[in-house]
Every structure is written in structure tokens, then in C-alpha cells.
Amino acid sequence: MFKDFGILLIFIGGIFLLIGVLFLIIGQTGFRLPFDIVIRGKNFVVYIPIGTSILLSLLLTVLLSLFFRAK
């Protein structure tokens, strides 16, 4: 039981690592998806990544459904 749970945690950690690298690359290029909202004031910036959240949700749903369906 603990072995399976450990493998699952490593898999999830790998996914988060890839997502983090992807965010770093996207952050360097300044690329924004549609529906990403940026509000700039004099002394603040608010970034609301709605489009990015929808895209990540779809990707994770597909990946996890494939992962859990394979067993």
C-alpha cells in the first residue's frame, strides 16, 4: 500500500515540477492566454489567470483520467 502511494506522490510531484517549469517559461516570454486579466494601478498589479486555470484544469483532467483508467 505504501509503495503505491509513494509512486503516486512521485508522479504528482513530477507533474507539478513540469507545470512549474512551464510557468517559468511562459513568464519569461510574457505570453498570456485569453481571459487572463491584468489590472495595473499606480502602486500595484493584480493578475488573475482565468484562461490559464481553465487550460491547466483541462490538461490535468485528461492526464489523470488516462492515468486512473489505465489501472
Boundaries of every domain in the chain: 1-31, 32-71
The grid coordinates listed for 13 are 510531484
- Gap between the Cα atoms of 53 and 21, Å rounded: 16
Report the pLDDT value the prediction gives residue 42, as an integer from 0 to 100. Answer: 93
pTM reported for the whole predicted model:
0.51
Q: What b/e sequence results for 57-67 when a residue is b if at least 16 CB atoms lie within 10 Å of its CB, and e otherwise?
A: eeeeeeeeeee
DSSP code, position 4? H
**Each residue's pLDDT tens digit, 17-55:** 998 888 888 777 776 778 888 899 999 999 888 888 888
CB under 8 Å to 63, separation ≥6 — which residues? 15
